[in-house]
């Protein structure tokens, strides 16, 4: 099948799901008034489908599948070379530049690439047929040009206890029943990026598991509208601004992200969609490889969003008439330096990629963790500098209703004016956009997600300590100093 158009994608997700928003059960969400809140996240995904149709971006947005031989959206591609790993980062930067928000497709993309090699290795050791199942499943995804969510994070309950020690065993998603035709699972997954906007999802365990925790070592594919799946739409800062008249107060009114609280209430999974079931020794491999791929991703997506924020900061300096002030110019240079450093990390861990036995390519794990460790810090500094240059007006400005008011609007516009050649409406829109990226809805995907997505900072530090090879560095010193 050909690649989906944005319009075909939109029609394809208009299906019955169990969705709650603000305490209300939503039917046909695309017709509900709350769709004004959901629509920007859908527009973001539509942009991906649009870019894949454009000749100037096809080298980044599409690839040739080694499974089908056909052209596929790169977000469904299994990496076949170092070049693929690099093109992934370049693609993610492009989409970040085009949308200025989380575009919701990286998690499923990274989960698929992790599963590809892990299923092959499980089969080699255990004599299972997970790899063939996964390939067949993924061929269907590629042929239909589907969007796939990746789901890993469990609710975890009492963090001091293991999954099998919880007073409520469902705090980690688990197998509760097994038959010849499949399994039944129960639990919940949180922080699920783009789940409502996805056709399918890949479910993974959230940590390395131990003997006695076999029921939690489960990975499978599922349709996001499968019976027993309930979605609760995540609340975001300033989200109900999208329900108001006018669009400027939203900041980025075209595009946005989406996080879903997903509950699995005795969901049936057929055998041919199960990719791990009880193989606890491989649960850690799956978690770590997914984390590596996803930490690599942040060297592209967050850089693209950073490009837009830096552009907005430079533009507000012009609008304020201070673009030549030396200390403000230096702050923008620092923003550029931090952003390109993140990109360097994404390109570096991709350039040192290697081939797994399964045939697919994987990034350098140490440098991927270095990339994500920097991402937990640099976007916050870039955001702080943007707020510094823009000024305190980004969090005290009157609403668009006041801006457009017949009674007070003229006075608001008079005192929000700066340079004679700068339209006051343009400055107003830009200030709201910076607010959106630094402290509004988009700050979720740019700052908070930078901190906690793909594991919070300590997770990377643990991996850096494991991958850093201190013993080899000690031997270097001993060699130089002739120490036995």
Strand pairing partners for 179? 182
| Contact assessment for residue 63 and residue 114, using Cβ atoms and an 8 Å cutoff | no
Rounded to an integer, what distance in angstroms lies between the CA atom of residue 386 and that of residue 100?
15
Beta strands 18-21 and 24-26 are antiparallel
| Contact assessment for residue 385 and residue 335, using Cβ atoms and an 8 Å cutoff | yes
User: Would you name the residues annotated as active-site residues?
Assistant: 102, 106, 193, 259, 294, 298, 301, 449
- The overall longest dimension of the chain from CA atoms, in Å, is 85
Number of Cβ within 10 Å of residue 38's Cβ equals 22
Supply φ then ψ for residue 354, to 5 degrees. Answer: -145, 165
**Sole residue written with tokens 């995907």:** 445
| Contact assessment for residue 216 and residue 264, using Cβ atoms and an 8 Å cutoff | no
Rounded to an integer, what distance in angstroms lies between the CA atom of residue 138 and that of residue 146?
10
Burial of 330 per CB tally in 10 Å (0-12, 13-18, 19+):
exposed
Rounded to an integer, what distance in angstroms lies between the CA atom of residue 425 and that of residue 416?
9
**Sole residue written with tokens 């700050």:** 443
Strand pairing partners for 183? 178, 269
**Dihedral angle computed from the Cα positions of residues 284, 289, 292 and 293, in that order, rounded to the nearest 10 degrees:** -150
| Contact assessment for residue 370 and residue 377, using Cβ atoms and an 8 Å cutoff | no
């Amino acid at each position: 099948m050909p690649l989906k158009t944005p319009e075909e994608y939109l029609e394809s997700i208009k299906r019955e799901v169990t969705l709650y928003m603000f305490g209300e059960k939503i039917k046909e969400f695309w017709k509900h008034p709350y769709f004004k809140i959901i629509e920007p996240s859908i527009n973001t995904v539509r942009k991906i489908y649009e870019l894949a149709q454009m000749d100037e971006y096809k080298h980044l947005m599409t690839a040739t599948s080694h499974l089908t031989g056909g052209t596929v959206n790169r977000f469904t591609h299994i990496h076949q070379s170092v070049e693929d790993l690099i093109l992934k980062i370049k693609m993610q930067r492009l989409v970040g530049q085009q949308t200025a928000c989380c575009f919701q497709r990286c998690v499923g993309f990274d989960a698929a690439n992790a599963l590809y090699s892990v299923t092959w290795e499980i089969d080699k050791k255990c004599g299972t047929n997970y790899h063939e199942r996964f390939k067949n499943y993924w061929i269907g995804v590629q042929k239909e040009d589907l969007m796939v969510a990746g789901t890993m994070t469990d609710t975890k309950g009492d963090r001091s206890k293991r999954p099998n020690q919880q007073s409520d065993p469902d705090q980690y998603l688990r197998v509760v029943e097994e038959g010849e035709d499949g399994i039944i699972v129960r639990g919940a997954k949180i922080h699920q990026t783009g789940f409502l906007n996805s056709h399918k999802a890949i479910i993974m365990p959230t940590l390395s598991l131990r003997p006695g925790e076999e029921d939690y070592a489960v990975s499978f594919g599922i349709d996001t509208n499968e019976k027993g799946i309930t979605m609760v739409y995540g609340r975001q800062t300033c989200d109900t601004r999208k329900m108001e008249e006018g669009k400027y107060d939203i900041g980025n009114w075209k595009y946005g992200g989406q996080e879903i609280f997903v509950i699995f209430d005795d969901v049936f999974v057929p055998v041919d969609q199960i990719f791990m079931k009880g193989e606890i020794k491989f649960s850690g491999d799956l978690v770590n490889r997914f984390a590596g791929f996803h930490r690599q991703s942040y060297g592209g997506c967050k850089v693209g969003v950073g490009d837009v924020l830096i552009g907005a900061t430079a533009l507000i300096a012009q609008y304020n008439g201070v673009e030549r002030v030396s200390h403000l110019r230096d702050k923008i240079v620092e923003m550029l330096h931090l952003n390109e450093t993140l990109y360097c990390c994404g390109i570096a861990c991709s350039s040192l990629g290697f081939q797994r036995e399964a045939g697919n390519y994987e990034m350098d794990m140490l440098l991927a963790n270095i990339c994500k460790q920097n991402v937990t810090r640099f976007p916050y500094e870039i955001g702080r500098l943007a707020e510094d240059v823009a000024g305190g007006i980004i969090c005290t400005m009157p609403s668009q209703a006041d801006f457009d008011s017949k009674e007070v609007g003229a006075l608001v516009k008079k005192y929000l004016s700066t340079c004679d050649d700068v339209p006051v409406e343009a400055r107003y829109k830009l200030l709201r956009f910076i607010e959106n990226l630094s402290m509004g809805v988009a700050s979720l995907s740019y700052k908070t997600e930078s901190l906690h997505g793909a594991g919070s900072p300590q997770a990377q530090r643990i991996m850096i300590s494991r991958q850093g090879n201190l013993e080899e560095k000690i031997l270097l010193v001993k060699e130089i100093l002739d120490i036995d």
